[in-house]
Amino acid sequence: PDLEAELQLDRLKPRPSRRVLLLQGHQPSWQDDLVVAPGTPPVCSNLTAYLRNKTELKDKLSPVALSVALT
């Protein structure tokens, strides 16, 4: 069976005001299908995220919440 993996950065903020983005694509989320089958080698994904420029940030005190979902 395949799994769908989803990562959401700064998920408690509305989409236009998210403070953390992924380097590749400059988006606050990532999705991919993972193949899970006997004999399949493990899969590792490295994602680099960055904080937006501090001049663009209005909220600097609240924590950055993220979520990972496998469905």
Structural domain boundaries of the chain? 2-56
For 9-64, the pLDDT digits (tens) are: 999 999 888 999 999 999 999 999 988 888 888 878 899 999 998 888 888 888 99
What local confidence, expressed as pLDDT, does residue 1 receive? 66
pTM to 2 decimals? 0.81
How big is the chain by its Cα radius of gyration, in Å?
15
What local confidence, expressed as pLDDT, does residue 20 receive? 94
| Number of residues that this document lists for the chain | 71
Give ∠ CA 57-51-60 in degrees, rounded to 5. 40
